[in-house]
C-alpha cells in the first residue's frame, strides 16, 4: 500500500539549548591592575517554538525531522559582555496540532490560530558572571554560575483536524461523494469500504459569500472505540468539529440502529462528544418516495434534525446547507 501524504502523528526527540556559563573575569588596566570583577553573563539556550501555519494540513514535513536540537548559549566574557543566546528553532505545524510528552502523556501545547507561537521547550538560562556577586565584604568573587542545562525528551505532535462540520458514518455511506458535490474537494470515491483513510477538507460556499468547512472523515465501524478498523485514528479527528453530520444511506437495513451504533462508538471513545450538535442526513434518497421517507422519519430520534439528500441529483443539498448553517450559527442561550 502506498504511503499516505496525510501524517497526523509524529514522534520526535527534542533538546533545547544549554545556557552559556557566566564569566569569571577581572578587569585589569594600566593604572589599576585590580579594577574588580567584570565577568559577563552567559547567553540563554535556544528555545524550541511551535508556530501555527494555516497553509499546512499534515505533519508530513516533519516525518524525517526526528531530532530537534536547539543551539547552546555562548559563555559570558570580560568587560561585562553577555554571551550570545542560542538560536531558537521554530517548528511550523498545521492548526489543530497538540504537543505532549511521550512518557508522561501530559499535554504541553495546542496550536489553534495562524501565526500563533508557543515556546514549547525552554532553553536553559545563562549563568551569571562574577560581577554579579561582588559585595562590600567580597569585592573580588571567584565564583560565576554555570549555565542551566537544556531540556531533552521524546515528544509527540498529534494533529486533530479543524472543521466546522464532521461527516460521520459507516464506510460507503456516501460521505466522500457528498463532499465532492457540495465543495470543491476531490476525495477518492469507490464502491468499497475505507476508500477514505485520511480526512479530506472542503469549503462549502453558502449564501452571500459566506462559507463553512466540512471534513470527510474515515468511516466508523462497530468497535472503533476499541481500535477496530481505523479506530482511534478516526475518532480523534471529530473532537474538533462543533457539528457532527451523521450520514445514513437510504438502503440501510435499520436506520435507527445504524445511528445508535455510531453514537455508541462516540460515547465509548469520549462521552463529551455527545454534547456536540448532531444532524442526520439520509443519503441516496433519490430511490425513496414520500411514503418511505415518512417511514424512515418515524425511526429517527425526534430531537435530532434530519434531511433527505441525494448527491446524485442534488435533491435536498440546499436544505442541508441551510440546516448546517442554522445550527452552526445558532444563538447560545444566556
Lowest mean pLDDT among 140-154, 208-222, 225-239: 225-239
Q: Which residue has the higher pLDDT, 19 or 142?
A: 19
Give residue 193's pLDDT: 38
Using DSSP's 3-state secondary structure scheme, residue 137 falls into coil
Which sequence spans correspond to the domains of the chain? 9-159, 165-328
Residue bearing cell 495546542:
110
Beta strand extents in 41-141 (DSSP E only): 48-52, 67-69, 89-93, 97-101, 107-111, 117-121
Higher pLDDT, 24 or 171: 24
Q: Give the pLDDT of residue 32.
A: 73
pTM, entire model: 0.68
Q: Is 275 helix (H, G, I), strand (E, B) or coil?
A: helix
Strand stretches in 79-175, DSSP E: 89-93, 97-101, 107-111, 117-121, 152-159, 165-168
Measured distance CA(307)–CA(173) in Å, rounded: 15
List the CATH code of the domain at 165-328: 3.40.50.300
**In terms of DSSP bridges, do strands 211-216 and 200-205 run parallel, antiparallel, or are they unpaired?**
antiparallel
Burial class (CB in 10 A: 0-12, 13-18, 19+), 100: middle
Please give the Cα distance from 191 to 214 (Å, whole number): 22
- List, for residues 108-120, the tens digit of each pLDDT value: 999 999 999 999 9
Q: What is the largest CA-CA distance in the chain?
A: 107
Q: pLDDT digits over 246-302, tens only?
A: 999 998 889 999 999 889 888 887 888 888 999 999 999 988 899 999 999 999 999
Classify domain 9-159 by CATH number. Answer: 2.70.210.12
Q: What percent of the chain has pLDDT over 70?
A: 86
Look over the chain and give the mean of its residue pLDDT values, rounded to a whole number: 84
List the beta bridge partners of residue 213: 203
Conformation bin of residue 253: beta by default, left when phi > 0, alpha when psi is -120 to 50: alpha
284 neighbors 251 (Cβ within 8 angstroms): yes
- CATH topology match: 9-159 vs 165-328: no
> What whole-number distance in Å separates Cα of residue 110 and Cα of residue 157?
10
Give me the phi and psi of 236, to 5 degrees please: -70, -25
Strand partners, 140: none
Amino acid at each position: 500500500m502506498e504511503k499516505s501524504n496525510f501524517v497526523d502523528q509524529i514522534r520526535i526527540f527534542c533538546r533545547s539549548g544549554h545556557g552559556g556559563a557566566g564569566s569569571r573575569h577581572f578587569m585589569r588596566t594600566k593604572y589599576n591592575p585590580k579594577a574588580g570583577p567584570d565577568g559577563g553573563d552567559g547567553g540563554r539556550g535556544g528555545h524550541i517554538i511551535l508556530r501555527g501555519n494555516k497553509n499546512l494540513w499534515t505533519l508530513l514535513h516533519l516525518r524525517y525531522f526526528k531530532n530537534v536540537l536547539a543551539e547552546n548559549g555562548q559563555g559570558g566574557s570580560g568587560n561585562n559582555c553577555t554571551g550570545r543566546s542560542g538560536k531558537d528553532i521554530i517548528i511550523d505545524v498545521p492548526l489543530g496540532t497538540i504537543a505532549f510528552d511521550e512518557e508522561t502523556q501530559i499535554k504541553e501545547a495546542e496550536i489553534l490560530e495562524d501565526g500563533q507561537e508557543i515556546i514549547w521547550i525552554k532553553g536553559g538560562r545563562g549563568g551569571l558572571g562574577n560581577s554579579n556577586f561582588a559585595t562590600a565584604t567580597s569585592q573580588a568573587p571567584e565564583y560565576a554560575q554555570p549555565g542551566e542545562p537544556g531540556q531533552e525528551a521524546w515528544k509527540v505532535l498529534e494533529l486533530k483536524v479543524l472543521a466546522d462540520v464532521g461527516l460521520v458514518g459507516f464506510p460507503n455511506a456516501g460521505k466522500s461523494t457528498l463532499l465532492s458535490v457540495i465543495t470543491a474537494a476531490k476525495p477518492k470515491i469507490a464502491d468499497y469500504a475505507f476508500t477514505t483513510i485520511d480526512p479530506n477538507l472542503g469549503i462549502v460556499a453558502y449564501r452571500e459569500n459566506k462559507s463553512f468547512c466540512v471534513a470527510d472523515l474515515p468511516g466508523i465501524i462497530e468497535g472503533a472505540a476499541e481500535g477496530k478498523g481505523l479506530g482511534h485514528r478516526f475518532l480523534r479527528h471529530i473532537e474538533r468539529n462543533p457539528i457532527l453530520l451523521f450520514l445514513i444511506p437510504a438502503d440501510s437495513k435499520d436506520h435507527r440502529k445504524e445511528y445508535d451504533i455510531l453514537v455508541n462508538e462516540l460515547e465509548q471513545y469520549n462521552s463529551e462528544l455527545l454534547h456536540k450538535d448532531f444532524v442526520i442526513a439520509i443519503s441516496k434518497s433519490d430511490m425513496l418516495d414520500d411514503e418511505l421517507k415518512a417511514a424512515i422519519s418515524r425511526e429517527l430520534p425526534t430531537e435530532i434534525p434530519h434531511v433527505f439528500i441525494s448527491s446524485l441529483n442534488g435533491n435536498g443539498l440546499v436544505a442541508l446547507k441551510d440546516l448546517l448553517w442554522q445550527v452552526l450559527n445558532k444563538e447560545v442561550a444566556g
